[in-house]
Structure 1
Amino acid sequence: MKHIQFIIYLMVITHCAVGQSSVTSLFSSNEKVGDKHFERLAFAPALDAYLLALKNNKDNDTLKLKIAESYRLLNDPESASKWYGEVLPQNAGMDAAYYIHYADVLTSAGKYDEAKDWYLKYGAQTPEDGRVKEKIRGIEDIEKLNKNEFEVSISKVDWNSEFSDFSPAYYGNEILFVSARLGKKKNLQDFKWDGSNFLDIYQVNDSGSVASFNRNVNGKYHEGPLVVYDEGRKMIFTRDNYYKGKLKTSKNGTTKLNLYYTERDSVSAPWGDPQPLPFNNDEYSVGHPAISDDGLTLYFVSDMPGGKGGTDIYKSEMKDGNWGEPVNLGEPVNTEGNEMFPFLNHDEELFFASNGHPGLGGLDIYIYDIIKNKKVVNLGAPINSNLDDFGLIINKKEGYFSSNRDGGKNHDDIYSFTAERPFLTNYIASGTVYDKTSKAILDNAVVKLYDEGGNLVDSTYSDKNGKYAFTVDAGKKYSIKADKEDYFPTELSFKTLNSDKGLWENDLYMNSDYGFQLIGEVVLKGTDEAVPGVQVKITDNFTGKDILTAQTDNAGGFVNPLEDKKPGDRVSYQIQLLKDGYLGKNFVFNHLLKEPGPIYLKEFVDLSMDKIEVGTDIGKLVDLKPIYFDLGKSNIRKDAALELDKVVKVMKENPTLQIELGAHTDSRGSAVSNEKLSDKRAKASAAYIISQGIDASRITGKGYGESQLINECADGVKCSEEQHQNNRRTEFKVVKM
C-alpha cells in the first residue's frame, strides 16, 4: 500500500532477531542480499531475495520470519499471517515484538479470535505496553464498531487510478490528493520501498479531470499530504527532506519527511518557492499537516524523540508571525502505536488515523473533540474496515477518505462518503431488539425515542443485526418504544446517568402477537342491552398483577391483549365488574390457550349485571335459597350459613352497599311470639354476616313477624303449607347504595 512509506518513515522500524536456539544460523547469499534491501527499506526486492533463499533452506525459521516481516511492511496481512503462523506457534521464547506483529496482521485479516490470543501472549511478556488492553477491547467491541453501517454511505471516486491514490485535501471547490500514478517523468529510479512510482500532488477540477499540481510544489521526490488554508492563498505540505536542490539524509542514511510552506498573493497568482518550517529536522520526520480555521494552530505528525509511540500528533501555535515549539497532544489521542493523517474540521473536531486505539484492524479513523477533550471515538464501519483507512476530510456531512480495503495489497483508493448524522456523539443510547421468547434478533422494527415529556425525539429502524442507536443528552430521562408487525409494542424508560463511556445499552424484548386477547361485553341481565362505563379490573392470579383496569365502551365492551402468552399456556384471572347502580361481580376465569386468536368471555362466564336501587331484594338477584331454622330456634344452621355466605360475597364485591335483613313468619302462632322469634332470627343472621368481615354499619337485622304477609293467609284463613311457606321468608333489601 503506497501510503505505507510515510508510516515507516514516521515510525521506529522494528525488525526482530530470532534466537539462535530455535533456528539455524546458516545464511545464504540470497538472504544477505535480502537483508541489505530490507535495511534500505526496499521491502519488495528484500522479499524476493528471502523467498529465493528459502528454496535452499526450507526449514529456516529465521527466513520465514523475515518473509513475514516483509509481507507485513508491504501491507499484505494474509500472506504475513501465513508465514508468522509457520514459526511462532511452534517456537516458544521468541521476541515479543513478533507476537504483536502477528496479532496485528491477524486482525487486518479479520481473524479476530486468533489475534486476541496473540495479543494476550504479547501482553504477558510486555505488561507495560498499554496497547494490548486497547487492542483486545477493540476486538470485543467489533459489533459496536459496526453500528454506523446503516448511517454512512460510501462510494469509490471515479478519479482513482491503477496506482495508489490517497490523502485528499480541500482546494476551494476542488480537491487535491496524493498519487503514485504516472506523471511527468522525474528521471529517477522507482521508489525502492516497493518498486512503485514517487508520489506527487494532483488536482481534480470541477469536471472531474485530473492534472498534476503546481511545479513549484511537486519536486523530484515524494510530496504530500498537505493542507491549503486562508481562502486558498497558503499551503503547508509534506515533502522528502529536499531543499534548494539537495536531498538530505539522517546519520543512518535515511531521508526523513519535512514540512514546507508556500503562499501566493491571490487564488489566481502563482505559488511561491516552498520554505521549510522551523521544526524540520534531519534526524526525524515531521509531516501530515492540518490547520485550524484561523490559521494559527498547526497540527502535524512526527516521530521526534520524547513521543508516546511510533508517531504522535503534535501542535504548534503561531505567535508574532512565527511557529512556536511543537507540543505533543498526549493522551487520549496519542498511543504506543502510530497516530497520523490529522484533519481539523470547522467544529474543532480532530480526525486522525491510528493503529494504537481499539479498531477493526490496520489503521482506523478516529475523531476527537479538541474543545471538550473528552474521548477518542472510532468512526466504525463502513468508514473503517479490517485493513487501512486514513486521510479523512469532511465538510458538514460529506467528505472523502483513503483505504486499501478493495483487495489491493499495494494500492490505495479514495472514497467519498455521506453521513446521516455527526460522527462525534458524546452520548449514545443503543441496544438490540429481540423476540422475547426465542431471543431471535428482530430487524426492521420501528424504534422511537421520547423525552421525559413524551415528545418524539428521534425515530429509526433496527438494522439487520437488530441494532438501533440514538444520540442523547446526559442527565435526562427518556423512553424507548419499539413496534413491529406481528409483535406487541414494547417500551422501557431510562436515565442517562453514571456512564463513563457515554453509552447506555437498552435491549428491547418483544412478545409475538398470537392474537390472544380477552374480549368481553357487559349487558343488563336478561337482555342484550349494553352497559357502558363499567369499571373492569382483571388480575393475573399467577402473578398477582393487575393486567387491565379500564371502563367498558358505549357497546359495553372491553378488550385485553395477552402480550406474554403463547399456545399451550394456562391462564387464571380474577375479573371484577363495578358500576354505580348495578350489582358488582367478581369471578375467576381459568383457561388453556390452544389455537391463536381472541377469547370471547361470554362463551365461558356470565358478564351480565343486575340493576339495583333502594328497596331491591338482593336475595332474588343472587338466587338465594330459603334460610331455614330449627323449630322455635334462632341459631344459624350449616345450610343457612351457605346461603348467607352468598350475601357476604355480594357485600364484599359492592363495598358501598347497605342492607336491611328482614325476617318474616307466617300467621300461625301469636303475633307477639312470631315478632320476637323473627327478630331473633334476623339479628342472628346479621351477626353471622358481620362475623364474616362485613362492617356492622352496613347491615341491620329486623324481625317483622307476621306483619308483612305476601298473601291472604292471615289468622283464621285456611291455607296450604306451601302458601304459609311463602310468608316464611328472609329478605335482604338495599337501604343505601
Structure 2
Amino acid sequence: MKRQGDEYYATGDYRSALFAYKQGGLENTKDNELQLKIGVCLYENNDVDGALHIFQSLINEGKTEPVVYMHAAKCFQSKNLFAEANVHFKLFLQKFNPDDPLRPWVKDELIRCANGSRLTYGEEMAYVENAGTTINTPFEEFGVRTSPTTIDKIYFNSDREDVARAKRPNGNVDIYSTNLVNGRWATPSPLPAHINSIGYDEVTGFSSNGQILYYLTASGKNFVIKTDTFSAEEGQTLSGLFSGPFLTSHGGSDLIFFNDTICLFSSDRPGGYGGYDLYVSVFTEGAWSKATNLGPSINTFYHERFPFLTRGRDDIILFF
C-alpha cells in the first residue's frame, strides 16, 4: 500500500494517498519521509491539527528536512496563528538552500502573515459559516453560483462519488443544486444526464433571467463552454457552444458572466503581467469582443484569479 500511496502522492491525489497509507497501517510509521507525506496529506484534506501534530513531532526530533518548517508554518497560517507561522517561515528561510525556488514564495507568505495579523484587529466585514455536512463531503465542493431566479437555491461542483450515477474516472466533476428549506440545506441533487456527463462538468454562470446555464465540459484534451436552456426532455439535448474568447487551451479559468454582456476570466496566456491575469470580453453587435487584459492597475506579477462582479449603490464592483 505504501507504493500505491506514494504514486497517488506524486500526482497530487492526496485523498487517495492518505487512504492508501491508512489501509496499509502506516499512520504510526517511524519513517520520517513517510511521516512528512502523511502530514501533507492530512493538511490537504483539511485535517490541519493532525498535520501540525506530525510536523511538530518531526521538528522536535531534530532530524528532519527544513521543508517541514514551511509545512508547519502553513498549518499555523491556516489557523490564523500568524505569529507562529511567521516564526516557522523564517526558520525555513534560515535552514534552507539560499537558491531554493521556494524562497520567494515564502517571503511573500511572510507579507501575508503580516497582513493577517493587521486584519485580525480590524473591523469585521463579513461572517463566514461552513454550509455543513449536508452539502460538504470529504471530496471537493467548489464554484458556488446562486440561482438568478430562486433566492434560496445554489449550484455547485463536486468530484464526490455518487452511488446513483455510474462509476466515473478519477478526477471528474458533476454539477449539483440544492435549496434552503426552513433554514436548512436540502440534500443536493445532480443535474440531468444531458448536462452531467461521465467526464468533467463545471457550472460557470447563468443568463440574467436564469433561463440559460453556462457550463464547462470536457472535449477531447481540452474544455469548452456549453449553454443549456433547462428545457430539454430526457434524452434530448438542447446544449449549444459558447462563442466567446474563453479557451482553456490558452490557459483560461474561473469564467463568470455579468448582465449577459460581460464575461470575465483569468488566464496565464502569453502577454500577461505575471502569473494568472484577469481578462474581460464584452458582447456587442451580436458577438463577443476579443479578450482584453485588465491592465497593470489590476494585474501584477502574482496570480489574479476568481473574478466576481456585483452592483454597488452607484457603480459596479469587481472582487478578485
TM-score (norm 1): 0.34
Q: How does 1:267-666 map to 2 (within 5 A)?
A: 272-275=238-241, 278-282=245-249, 286-293=252-259, 295-302=260-267, 304=269, 308-309=274-275, 313-318=278-283, 321-325=287-291, 327=293, 336=302, 340-347=305-312, 348-352=316-320
SS in 2 for 1:291: strand
Q: Secondary structure at the match of 1:81?
A: helix
Structure-to-structure mapping, 1:174-189, within 5 angstroms: 174=151, 175-180=153-158, 185-189=164-168
- Alignment partner for residue 42 of structure 1, among 2, 8, 13? 13
1:195-206 to 2 correspondences below 5 Å: 198-204=173-179
Question: How far did residue 307 of structure 1 move?
Answer: 6.5
Task: State the distance in 1 between where 2:298 and 2:211 align.
Answer: 33
Q: Could you tell me which residue of structure 2 aligns to residue 526 of structure 1?
A: none
Offset of residue 260 of structure 1: 0.9
Q: Distance in 2 between matches of 1:299 and 1:224?
A: 16
2:213 equivalent to 1:235: yes
Q: Within 2, Cα distance between the matches of 1:38 and 1:144? A: 38
Contact persistence 1:238–1:289 (CA under 8 A): no
Q: Secondary structure at the match of 2:195?
A: coil
Alignment partner of 1:139 is 2:110? no
- Given the alignment of the two structures, is residue 104 of structure 1 paired with residue 74 of structure 2, yes or no? yes
Question: What is the CA RMSD across the aligned residues, in angstroms?
Answer: 4.1
Alignment-derived partner of residue 161 in structure 1: 135
- Aligned pair count reads 294
Compute the displacement of 1:330 (Å): 5.4
Q: Does 2:42 match 1:67?
A: no
Deviation per CA, 1:208-239: give whole Å up to 9, x if none. 76644344332223433421124224433234
Offset from partner CA, 1:614-644 (integer Å, 9 cap, x none): xxxxxxxxxxxxxxxxxxxxxxxxxxxxxxx
Q: Secondary structure, in 3 states, of the residue corresponding to 1:86?
A: helix
Q: Does 2:115 correspond to 1:148?
A: no
| 3-state secondary structure, aligned to 2:41 | helix
The letter of the residue matching 1:188 is: K
Deviations 1:287-319 (A, max 9, x none): 3322233x333222445566734x554433446
For residue 80 of structure 1, what is the aligned residue in structure 2? 51
Say which SS state the counterpart of residue 148 (structure 1) adopts.
Answer: coil
* 1:116 Cα offset (Å): 1.1
The answer to whether the 8 Å contact 1:202/1:212 transfers is yes
Once residues 297 and 37 of structure 2 are traced to their aligned partners in structure 1, the CA distance between those partners, rounded to angstroms, is 33
How does the TM-score come out when normalised to structure 2? Answer: 0.70
Contact 1:38 1:46 in 2 (8 A): yes
Q: Distance in 1 between matches of 2:167 and 2:6?
A: 23
Query: What is the Cα deviation at residue 44 of structure 1?
Result: 2.2
Deviation at 1:162, TM superposition (A): 5.6
Structure with the largest fraction of helix? 2
Among 219, 222, 239, which residue is 2:197 paired with? 219
Change (3 A) 1:48 1:185: closer
Work out the CA distance in 2 between the residues paired with 1:112 and 1:161: 30
For residues 274 and 69 of structure 2, what CA distance do their matches in structure 1 show?
A: 21
| Structure 1 contact 99–118 (Cα < 8 Å) conserved | yes
Task: Compute the displacement of 1:349 (Å).
Answer: 1.5
The 3 A distance-change label for structure 1 pair 92 and 79 is: closer
- Determine if contact 1:225/1:288 at 8 Å carries over to the other structure: no
Q: Is the 8 A contact 1:106 1:115 kept in 2?
A: yes
Letter in 2 for 1:117: V
Conserved? CA contact 1:289–1:301, under 8 Å: yes
The higher relative CO (CA closer than 8 Å, separation ≥ 6) is in 1
Could you tell me how far apart the structure 2 residues matched to 1:100 and 1:212 are? 39
Which residue in 2 is equivalent to 1:32? 3
The residue type equivalent to 1:86 in the other structure is: S
CA deviation map 1:581-621 (0-9, x unaligned) = xxxxxxxxxxxxxxxxxxxxxxxxxxxxxxxxxxxxxxxxx
Query: Residue 73 of structure 2: SS of its match in structure 1?
Result: helix
**Structure 1 residues 333-385: Cα deviation after superposition (integer angstroms, max 9, x where no partner):** 6674x654432102322234xxxxxxxxxxxxxxxxxxxxxxxxxxxxxxxxx
Larger Cα Rg: Structure 1 or Structure 2? 1
After superposition, what is the alpha-carbon deviation per residue over 1:469-516, rounded to whole angstroms, capped at 9, x for unaligned? xxxxxxxxxxxxxxxxxxxxxxxxxxxxxxxxxxxxxxxxxxxxxxxx
Q: Which residue of 2 aligns with 1:171?
A: 148
1:234, 1:261 within 8 Å by CA — same for their partners in 2? Answer: no
Go from structure 1 to structure 2 and tell me whether the alpha carbon gap of 1:316 and 1:221 turns closer, same or farther (over 3 Å shift).
same
Partner secondary structure for residue 345 of structure 1:
strand
* Distance (whole Å) between structure 2 residues aligned to residue 214 and residue 287 of structure 1: 24
The alignment partner of 2:307 has SS state of strand
Q: For 1:292, give the aligned amino acid.
A: F
The one-character-per-residue Cα deviations of 1:551-596 (angstroms, maximum 9, x if unpaired) are: xxxxxxxxxxxxxxxxxxxxxxxxxxxxxxxxxxxxxxxxxxxxxx
**Deviation at residue 153 of structure 1 after TM alignment:** 5.7
Cα deviation, residue 36, structure 1: 1.3
Q: Distance in 2 between matches of 1:87 and 1:108?
A: 19
Q: Secondary structure, in 3 states, of the residue corresponding to 2:167?
A: coil
Cα distance 1:57–1:78, how it changes in 2: closer, same or farther (>3 A)?
closer
Match of 1:298, SS state, is strand
Q: Does 1:94 align with 2:44?
A: no
Whole-Å Cα distance in 1 between the matches of residues 39 and 294 of structure 2?
A: 33
Q: Any conservation in 1 of the 2:83–2:113 contact (CA below 8 Å)? A: no
Tell me how far 1:177 sits from its aligned partner. Answer: 1.4
Indicate the residue corresponding to 1:481 in structure 2.
none
Name the CA shift for 1:269/1:148 in 2 (closer, same or farther; >3 Å).
same
Which secondary structure state, in structure 2, belongs to the residue aligned with residue 173 of structure 1? Answer: coil
Instruction: Rate the CA distance shift 1:159–1:68 in 2: closer, same or farther, 3 A.
Output: closer
Percent of counterpart pairs with the same letter? 17
Go from structure 1 to structure 2 and tell me whether the alpha carbon gap of 1:339 and 1:116 turns closer, same or farther (over 3 Å shift). same
Q: Which amino acid aligns with 1:134?
A: I
Whether the 8 Å contact between 1:77 and 1:105 is mirrored in structure 2 is yes
Gaps of 5+ in 1: 1-29, 249-255, 353-737
What's the CA shift for 1:57? 5.7
Relative to structure 1, the CA distance from residue 216 to residue 312 in structure 2 (aligned partners, 3 Å threshold; closer, same or farther) is: farther
| Aligned counterparts of 1:328 and 1:62: Cα–Cα separation in 2 | 44
